[in-house]
Amino acid sequence: MRITKVETIRHPAFPRFTWLHVHTADGQVGLGEVGHFATAAEAIMHDLAPRFLIGEDATRIDHLWTRIHDHLAIFTMGGSEMRALGAIDVALWDLAGKRHGVPIYELLGGASRDTIPVYNTCIGSGPIPDNRRFLEDAGSLAAELVDEGFSCMKIWPFDAFAAPSHGQLLSSSDLDAGLAPVRAIRDRVGDSIGIAIELHGFWNLPCALRIADALQPYRVQWIEEALSPESLGAQVAFAKACHAPVVSGERLVTRFAFRGLLEAGGATIVNPDLTWTGGLGELKRIATMAEAFRIPVKPHNEGGPVHHVAAMHVAANVPSLYLLEMIRHNTRHLFPQIVDELPPLVRVPGPDGRAEARLALPSGPGLGISLSRRILDDPLATRKLTD
C-alpha cells in the first residue's frame, strides 16, 4: 500500500477541525483528524508528507511513526507536532484495517468486551446545554443522566474560582459554592450516579488538597487533573494524600512521559489523549505499560468524531480499560453532521439490573466511519494536497 498523496480538508462550519486523508496507490483512503490548533497541525502534516510519507509503505505503521517522532523530538515534543503525528497514525491504522477487511481493534488483539463502558462529560450547548446545567441545575441533570443509563458524570464546579488568584488561594465561601452542584447531585439521586471532578490543573497543591478533603463526604468516583503536570512531585504528594482515585496524564506526550508518572506513583488512573500523545498505536502502548503497574486507562476523549471512534477501538481492545469518556452533546448533535456510520450508544443490563448506557463496538473495516459527503461535496470546504 504505497502512499501517493496526503490531503487535508477543512470546513468553515467546523473551524476547530482539520481532517486528513492519506491516499494509497490501490485507491484506499485512510482518515485522521486534528481537533485543536488545526491550522498549525495542517501545515505540519504537509511539511512532513514529502519526507516521511509519500512513496512509503502505509502498512509499516510503527516504522513511520518512529521516524516522524524521532524527527520531531529534535525540536521539542508536544503541541501541534504531536497532534499532526497522531492524525497520521490514526489514518495509517484506518488503512491497515481496510486492507485486512476488519475493524482496527481486531488488529490490536481483538475485543476485550462486547460493548464499551462510558461516562458523560458535561460539555454541551444549544440543544444539550450540559455545560450550563451542571452549574445551575445539577440535580435534574443527574436525574436525566441516570434515566439515560449513565453510571458516571464529570463536572468542574471549582474552575470559576481559580482565575482571580491564579489558583493560589481558595476562600471558604468559594469552596462551599463549588461543592453546591455536588451536594445537589447527591441530594437528588443519591449514589445512583458516580461524580467525577475535573480541576483542569488550575490549582496549587494546598488548594487542591482542600478541595479533595471537602469532597470526601460525597464519595466522588475520581478527581482529575488536580495539578498541572509540570510538577511531578506535587502530583505524587496529591495522589498519596487524596482519598479518591486520582486521574492524570491527558497533557503528557508519548509513553516516555507516562513512564515517569507511573514509576513515581502520581496517578491511580491514567487518561492519555489519543491525538495529543501521538496516535492510536501510542495510546495502546501507554495502556499496556500502565497495566504492568496495575493502573487502568481512561482515555481523554473530547476531540472530534474521528478521534472519538479511534479511541473506541483502543477501548474495545485493552483489558485494562476503566471507562471511556464521551460527550452526549457531541455524539447526538455534532458528530452526525461530520461523519457517517457513527457507532451508537446502546442500553445493556447493568450489574444492579438497571439498563446501562454503553457504546456499541465499531463494525466496519478500519475505523468504520468516513467523512460525510456533506462535508466533502460542499463548495465551502477547502482542500490542500501534497503528492
Check which CATH number belongs to the domain holding 52 and give it: 3.30.390.10
Among candidate residues 71, 100, 200, 333, the one labeled active-site is: 200
Same structural domain for residues 249 and 378?
Answer: no
pLDDT per residue over 37-93, tens digit each? 999 999 999 999 999 999 999 999 999 999 999 999 998 778 999 999 999 999 999
Residue 111, pLDDT > 80, answer: yes
Report residue 188 as a C-alpha cell.
437528588
Q: Please name which of 89, 120, 118, 58 lies closest in space to residue 285, comparing C-alpha atoms.
A: 89
What is the residue range of 114's domain?
Answer: 107-360
Tell me whether residue 200 is one of the annotated catalytic residues.
Answer: yes
Among candidate residues 300, 308, 313, 329, the one labeled active-site is: 300
Same structural domain for residues 25 and 127?
Answer: no
Going 311 to 15 to 10 to 41, the CA torsion angle's sign is negative
- Lookup result for grid cell 512509503: 56
Say if residues 320 and 291 touch (Cβ distance below 8 Å): yes
Same structural domain for residues 338 and 194?
Answer: yes
Say if residues 115 and 326 touch (Cβ distance below 8 Å): no
Say if residues 56 and 96 touch (Cβ distance below 8 Å): no
Q: Please tell me the total count of domains within the chain.
A: 2
Which spans in 250-319 are helix H? Answer: 254-264, 280-291, 305-317
Please provide the average confidence, as pLDDT, over all residues in the chain.
97
pLDDT per residue over 327-348, tens digit each? 999 999 999 999 999 999 999 9
Alpha-carbon gap, residue 380 to 228, rounded angstroms:
39
Tell me whether residue 300 is one of the annotated catalytic residues.
Answer: yes
Give, rounded to a whole angstrom, the gap between the first and last alpha carbons of the chain: 15
Alpha-carbon gap, residue 260 to 17, rounded angstroms:
31
Question: Tell me, what CATH number does 149's domain have?
Answer: 3.20.20.120
Q: Give me the percent of the chain exceeding a pLDDT of 70.
A: 100
Same structural domain for residues 57 and 125?
Answer: no
10 Å CB burial of residue 166 (0-12, 13-18, 19+) is exposed
Paired sense of beta strands 115-121 and 222-224, if any: unpaired
pLDDT per residue over 279-310, tens digit each? 999 999 999 999 999 999 999 999 999 999 99
Report residue 44 as a C-alpha cell.
505540519
